[in-house]
């Protein structure tokens, strides 16, 4: 197949749900992606925050391949050595000594599951979420998303079930004794790389404790380690009651996880939640290998170093976010397009704010690669 034929075939046979860019990757390694025609791109977008260890990291790919030969799949009615090891490694990094994990397949499924657990644990049904937030495309997670063009697709839920608040607002009266869960991204990514303040993060937790609601941090983009801490609460020395994660957790293999502190986890009863593929052997092999490599390289420290370097090199520009989830204030759509077309550098826009370009590089990016990308950004922004 030629490049043109691949594009034509995709358009002919796939439901047209995505706006696609002019890139047909056939191979990727480390921080680089290679197009069908051989052109090499520096990926500061990290395949949408997924390629946290760069593209096709050898250790993760090997772990998946070895596991596939030993036991490609068995269901959740059995204990698996690889699942037990992945769960232990993950829970040891979690902010609570009695953490427990529920494995699923994606970010949206992790959020659905966390909301379901919160409803069961509190006996309530209302959810408080935030304007500009994004939690996924399945109906429950979508209804909690505060970006209007996405949320409208979930109009089947009664308006009253979801209340929306501004992040960093001083009025938290929407969180009352009828609320099961408060779900928030510690850094709103699609919304424009808008971070919670320390004061707000603490106020949220305090308010949830006062009224008996559960605070869920949607760390689908930010955990593990992208913020410069294994989990984002580390930025502000606090912790939520539950954390959801996906994207980078298995470095590119599809996986999602809900982490809950023990007292919340123990409200879940046999049969409350389930999934066929979640916690499958391949996902768990990928999670285990990802976490091993991240611990060895001290991934949180590397994320902090990336932020420091970006802020230093782009001095004079407004840089938002933390660690390896950063926003640069600029005309984002035009800048992202020019970076790709003129400099072969990939970055992302933010659907919620056209004035912010997002950088989500692999945490394995070298200083030289990062500098190359930042020079390209400076050249395009002029
Ligand atoms: C913060 C956040 N939550 C949830 C999701 C949904 O994750 P998934 O696409 O794996 O369902 C995303 C995806 O971009 C996200 O950025």
Mean pLDDT of the region 333-337: 98
> CA-CA distance, 53 to 294, in Å (whole number)?
8
The model's confidence at residue 334, banded by pLDDT at 50, 70 and 90, is very high
> CA-CA distance, 12 to 14, in Å (whole number)?
6
* pLDDT tens column, 185-244: 999 999 999 999 999 999 999 999 999 999 999 999 999 999 999 999 999 999 999 999
Mean pLDDT of the region 328-335: 98
Q: What percent of the chain has pLDDT over 90?
A: 96
* pLDDT tens column, 305-331: 999 999 999 999 999 999 999 999 999
User: Which atom from ligand 1 is nearest to the alpha carbon of 219?
Assistant: 1
Report residue 181: phi and psi, to 5°. Answer: -140, 145
Selected residue with higher pLDDT from 134 and 155: 134
Residue 274's closest CA among 263, 291, 250, 258?
258
The model's confidence at residue 152, banded by pLDDT at 50, 70 and 90, is confident
Best mutation site among 110, 188, 221 for ligand 1 pocket (most ligand atoms within 8 Å of CB)? 221
What's the whole-number average pLDDT of the chain?
Answer: 97
* pLDDT tens column, 236-272: 999 999 999 999 999 999 999 999 999 999 999 999 9
Structure confidence at residue 132 (pLDDT)? 97
Rounded CA Rg of the chain: 20
Q: Are 109 and 256 in contact (CB under 8 A)?
A: yes
Q: Which residues line ligand 1 (CB under 6 A)?
A: 106-108, 111, 134-136, 185, 189-190, 218, 220-221, 246
pLDDT exceeds cutoff 70 at 131 = yes
Best mutation site among 103, 133, 136 for ligand 1 pocket (most ligand atoms within 8 Å of CB)? 136
User: Which atom from ligand 1 is nearest to the alpha carbon of 109?
Assistant: 11
Q: What percent of the chain has pLDDT over 70?
A: 99
Query: Does the reported pTM lie above 0.95?
Result: yes
Query: Distance from the CA of 11 to the center of ligand 1, in angstroms?
Result: 24
* pLDDT tens column, 37-87: 999 999 999 999 999 999 999 999 999 999 999 999 999 999 999 999 999
Strand ranges in 214-291 using DSSP code E only, listed in sequence order: 214-218, 242-245, 256-260
Domains of the chain: 3-57+298-381 (3.90.1150.10), 58-297 (3.40.640.10)
Query: Distance from the CA of 370 to the center of ligand 1, in angstroms?
Result: 25
pLDDT exceeds cutoff 70 at 155 = no
> CA-CA distance, 209 to 201, in Å (whole number)?
13
Residue with CA at minimum distance from ligand 1 atom 8: 107
Report residue 162: phi and psi, to 5°. Answer: -120, 130
- Could you tell me the strand order of the sheet in which 126-130 lies? 100-104, 256-260, 242-245, 214-218, 179-184, 126-130, 162-165
């Amino acid at each position: 197949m030629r490049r043109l034929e691949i594009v034509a075939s995709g358009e002919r046979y796939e439901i047209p749900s995505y706006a696609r860019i002019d890139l047909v990757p056939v191979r990727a390694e480390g921080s680089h992606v290679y197009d069908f025609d051989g052109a090499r791109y520096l990926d500061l977008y990290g395949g949408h925050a997924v390629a946290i260890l760069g593209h096709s990291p050898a250790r993760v790919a090997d772990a998946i391949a070895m596991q596939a030969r030993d036991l490609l799949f068995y269901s959740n009615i059995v204990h698996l050595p690889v699942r037990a090891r992945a769960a232990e490694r993950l829970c040891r990094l979690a902010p609570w000594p009695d953490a427990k994990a529920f494995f699923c397949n994606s970010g949206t499924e992790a959020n659905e599951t966390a909301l379901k657990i919160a409803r069961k644990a509190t006996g309530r049904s209302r959810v408080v979420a935030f304007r500009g937030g994004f939690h996924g495309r399945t109906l429950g997670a979508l209804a909690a998303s505060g970006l209007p063009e996405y949320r409208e697709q979930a109009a089947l839920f009664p308006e009253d079930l979801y209340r929306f608040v501004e992040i960093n607002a001083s009025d938290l009266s929407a969180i009352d004794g009828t609320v099961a869960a408060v779900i928030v991204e510690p850094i709103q990514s699609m919304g424009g790389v808008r971070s919670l303040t320390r004061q707000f993060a603490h106020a949220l937790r305090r308010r949830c404790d006062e009224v008996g609601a559960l605070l869920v941090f949607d760390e689908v983009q930010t955990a593990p380690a992208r913020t410069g801490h294994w989990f984002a609460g580390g930025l502000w020395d606090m912790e939520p009651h539950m954390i959801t994660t996906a994207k980078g957790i298995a470095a590119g293999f599809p996986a999602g996880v809900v982490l809950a502190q023990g007292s919340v986890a123990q409200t879940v009863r046999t049969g409350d939640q389930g999934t066929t593929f979640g916690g499958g052997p391949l996902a768990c092999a990928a999670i285990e290998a990802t976490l091993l490599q991240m611990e060895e390289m001290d991934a949180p420290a590397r994320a902090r170093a990336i932020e420091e370097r970006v802020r230093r090199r782009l001095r004079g520009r407004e840089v938002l976010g933390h660690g390896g989830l950063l926003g640069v204030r600029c005309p984002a759509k035009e800048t992202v397009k020019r970076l790709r077309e003129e400099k072969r550098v990939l970055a992302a826009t933010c659907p919620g704010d056209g004035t912010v370009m997002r950088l989500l590089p692999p945490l394995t990016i070298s200083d030289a690669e990062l500098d190359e990308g930042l020079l390209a950004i400076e050249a395009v922004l002029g």
